């Protein structure tokens, strides 16, 4: 739980209030202007209603340049950020041909497979030549190649489940599979900070959705007891089934799921568990098998394991791993399997190869080294940031570390100042986070060297002082520095 300091909350609210007031004022003037101009849309309601895009027009556009920065290279540890300029006070941004080389602290390139890899890339290119970029068909009709079959076996074995099904997009995996598993009369209990794809999947399913406090097993138990005891609203019939949906690592918090406790609660109340490992698969655990391995949970206790390949594996798509029967049923009924174009064959090959590297099946120890490096890098970076006095969220071992910014003015300031010093960071604000809890998010990669991290720390510390986001007192410098002076 993030507790926002009282004064910070006040200043943040004040800032948003100010932005809102000025935005309204400008809207008012715009109305006058539009009054004069004859609109050709008589009889049509405006396509974006006034307040719907108020946030975009009046708040987001001011700091648009901090988001969606195009890059002209692979999302490796160093990227070429394309410079942009604006002639209309940030309303539109134009690309230039200039780029600046920046240290990448933004991409989810946890294991460094985003860049060209000596083992994976040649194989992906080979598959591209053999299978073309696309099959132009759904998996059931004519979109299943030998690569797809191999991929599903490989994923199932890697994750530690009997079978798996792969789709071409992580978002679709969640939003198309939840409705197949549960419908009217069912209950989905979802963590309050679950990803939007889960929210949309739950909404699309027609099941009732209840939320439990983020990562709080005791509250989950409370909700479960209450819901089982009272049954469905109005009819009071017992629920058909209950699915508890949690994530392995929360992408905006960097926190690890309290999986063992949650599994225990779910087992006690016979609720099914659905674990979304989008950020944790490949990134944590001794052999990269995700939170289950890290926290010592038997994968047999998790009913549905979902994950994506966009992060650690440097590819695209998502998977569902479960028992053979569940996968058989999903392959029979899931729209993502029946109607969507199959995952691109080279992307499938990239996943297979990267899993082989992680498991050491390529005949080298690179995978193990990558896993050690990402853990060391993450823990080093996190502890250094904390020592400097930043408010860093998340748990040890997690490669995601958000730094709290709070005030809206600090969002662009932090992002722009870091970029000036050639460090590319991600700042996150509403709608991805609650309005008051804007943050910068750093994703550490195994491809970052120690020098990279030291440079990043130096820059972040400097910018942190400038912007004023060191909300905690800095830890006193180590004693030996003083000693050197004494000598």
Partner 1 sequence: MASMLMDVMKNSFDWIPGALNADFAGAVVFGTPIGGHYVVEFVLLVAVVVLLLQKSYKPPKKPLTEREVDELCEDWVPDSLIPPITEEMKCEPPILESDAGPHVVIKGRDVVNFASSNYLGLVGNKKLIESCTDSLDKYGVGSCGPRGFYGTIDVHLDCEAKIAKFLGTPDSILYSYGISTMFSAIPAFCKKGDIIVVDEGVHWGIQNGLHLSRSTVVYFKHNDMQSLENTLEKVTRQNKRASKMRRYIVVEALYQNSGQLVPLDVIIRLKEKYRFRVLLDESNSVGVLGESGRGLTEHFGVPVEKIDIITAAMGNALATCGGFCTGSVRVVDHQRLSSSGYVFSASLPPYLATAAITAIDLLEENPDLLSKLRNNVAVLWRGLAEIPGLTIASDPLSPLVYLKLKNSTGSFNADSQLLQSIAHHVLEEGSVLVAASKRSILDKCQLPAGIRLFVSAGHTEADLLKAAASLKTASELLLSKQGHT
Sole binder of partner 1 in the list 158, 250, 313, 319 (CB under 8 A): 313
Binders of partner 1 in range 335-364 (CB under 8 A): 335-336, 338-341, 343-347, 350
131 touches partner 1 by CB under 8 A:
yes
CB of 479 to partner 1, least distance (A): 39
**What end-to-end distance do the CA atoms of the chain give, in Å?**
46
Taking a C-beta distance cutoff of 8 angstroms, is the pair 227, 234 a contact?
no
460 touches partner 1 by CB under 8 A:
no
CA 385/CA 161 separation, integer angstroms: 37
Of 42 and 478, CB closest to partner 1:
42
20 touches partner 1 by CB under 8 A:
no
Q: Which of 437, 406, 402, 471 is nearest to 11 (CA)?
A: 406
Of 20 and 55, CB closest to partner 1:
55
Stretch that binds partner 1, among 10-18, 155-163, 211-219, 300-308 (CB under 8 A): 300-308
108 touches partner 1 by CB under 8 A:
yes
How crowded is residue 100: how many other Cβ atoms within 10 Å of its Cβ? 13
DSSP symbols for 240-277: S-EEEEEESB-TTT-PBP-HHHHHHHHHHHT-EEEEE-
DSSP symbols for 359-416: HTTTSSSHHHHHHHHHHHHHHHHHHHHHHHT--B-S-TT-SEEEEEEESTTHHHHHHH
CB of 421 to partner 1, least distance (A): 16
3-class secondary-structure state, position 433: coil
What tokens were used for 74?
């692979």
396 touches partner 1 by CB under 8 A:
no
CA 385/CA 392 separation, integer angstroms: 7
CB of 50 to partner 1, least distance (A): 13
Sole binder of partner 1 in the list 69, 258, 279, 356 (CB under 8 A): 69
332 touches partner 1 by CB under 8 A:
yes
What tokens were used for 277?
């490992």
Sequence-distant (≥ 6) Cβ neighbours of residue 87 within 8 angstroms: 94
Sole binder of partner 1 in the list 77, 197, 215, 398 (CB under 8 A): 197
Taking a C-beta distance cutoff of 8 angstroms, is the pair 272, 304 a contact?
yes
25 touches partner 1 by CB under 8 A:
no
78 touches partner 1 by CB under 8 A:
no
Of 125 and 368, CB closest to partner 1:
125
**Beta-bridge partner residues of 341:** 138
CB of 318 to partner 1, least distance (A): 10
Binders of partner 1 in range 146-185 (CB under 8 A): 146, 148-149, 168-172, 175-176, 179-181
Q: How many residues does the chain have?
A: 487
CB of 304 to partner 1, least distance (A): 8
Sheet containing 426-428: which strands, arranged edge to edge?
Answer: 400-406, 438-443, 426-428
CB of 207 to partner 1, least distance (A): 12
328 touches partner 1 by CB under 8 A:
yes
- Give the distance between the most distant pair of CA atoms in the chain: 84
Stretch that binds partner 1, among 7-15, 66-74, 152-160, 455-463 (CB under 8 A): 66-74
426 touches partner 1 by CB under 8 A:
yes
136 touches partner 1 by CB under 8 A:
yes
CB of 239 to partner 1, least distance (A): 7
21 touches partner 1 by CB under 8 A:
no
Of 268 and 286, CB closest to partner 1:
268
Binders of partner 1 in range 248-287 (CB under 8 A): 269-272
320 touches partner 1 by CB under 8 A:
no
3-class secondary-structure state, position 229: helix
């Amino acid at each position: 739980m993030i507790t926002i300091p009282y004064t910070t909350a006040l200043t943040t609210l004040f800032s948003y209030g100010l932005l809102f007031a000025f935005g309204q004022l400008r809207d008012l003037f715009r109305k006058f202007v539009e009054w004069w101009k004859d609109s050709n849309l008589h009889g049509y309601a405006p396509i974006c209603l006034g307040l719907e895009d108020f946030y975009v027009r009046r708040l987001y556009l001011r700091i648009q340049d901090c988001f969606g920065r195009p890059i002209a290279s692979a999302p490796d540890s160093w990227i070429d950020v394309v410079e942009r300029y604006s002639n209309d006070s940030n309303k539109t941004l134009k690309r230039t041909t200039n780029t600046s080389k920046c240290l990448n602290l933004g991409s989810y390139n946890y294991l460094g497979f985003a860049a060209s890899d000596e083992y994976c890339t040649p194989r992906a290119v080979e598959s591209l030549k053999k299978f073309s970029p696309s099959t132009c068909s759904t998996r059931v009709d004519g979109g299943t190649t030998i690569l797809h079959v191999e991929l599903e076996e490989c994923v199932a074995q890697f994750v530690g489940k009997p079978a798996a099904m792969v789709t071409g997009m992580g978002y679709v995996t969640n939003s198309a599979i939840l409705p197949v598993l549960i419908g009217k009369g069912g209950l989905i209990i979802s963590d309050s900070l679950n990803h939007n794809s889960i929210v949309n999947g739950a909404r699309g399913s027609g099941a009732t959705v209840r939320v439990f406090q983020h990562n709080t097993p005791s509250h989950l138990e409370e909700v479960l007891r209450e819901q089982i005891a009272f049954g469905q609203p109005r009819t009071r019939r017992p629920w058909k089934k209950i699915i508890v949906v949690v994530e392995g690592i929360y992408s905006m918090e960097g926190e690890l799921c309290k999986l063992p406790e949650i599994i225990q609660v779910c087992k006690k109340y016979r609720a099914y568990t659905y674990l979304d490992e989008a950020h944790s698969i490949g990134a944590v655990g001794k052999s990269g098998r995700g939170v289950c391995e890290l926290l010592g949970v038997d994968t047999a206790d998790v009913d549905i394991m979902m994950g994506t390949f966009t992060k650690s594996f440097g590819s695209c798509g998502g998977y569902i791993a479960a028992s053979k029967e569940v996968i058989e049923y999903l392959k029979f009924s899931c729209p993502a399997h029946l109607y969507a174009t199959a995952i691109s064959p080279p992307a499938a090959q990239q996943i297979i190869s990267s899993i082989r590297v992680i498991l050491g099946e390529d005949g080298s120890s690179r995978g193990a080294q990558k896993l050690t490096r990402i853990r060391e890098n993450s823990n080093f970076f996190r502890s250094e940031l904390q020592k400097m006095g930043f408010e860093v969220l998340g748990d040890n071992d997690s490669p995601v570390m958000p730094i709290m910014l709070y005030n809206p003015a600090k969002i662009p300031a932090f992002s722009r100042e870091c970029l000036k010093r050639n460090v590319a960071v991600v700042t996150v604000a509403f709608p991805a986070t609650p309005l008051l809890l804007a943050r910068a998010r750093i994703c550490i990669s195994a491809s970052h060297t120690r020098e990279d991290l030291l440079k990043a720390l130096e820059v972040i510390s400097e910018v942190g002082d400038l912007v004023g986001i060191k909300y905690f007192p800095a830890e006193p410098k180590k004693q030996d520095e003083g000693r050197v002076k004494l000598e």
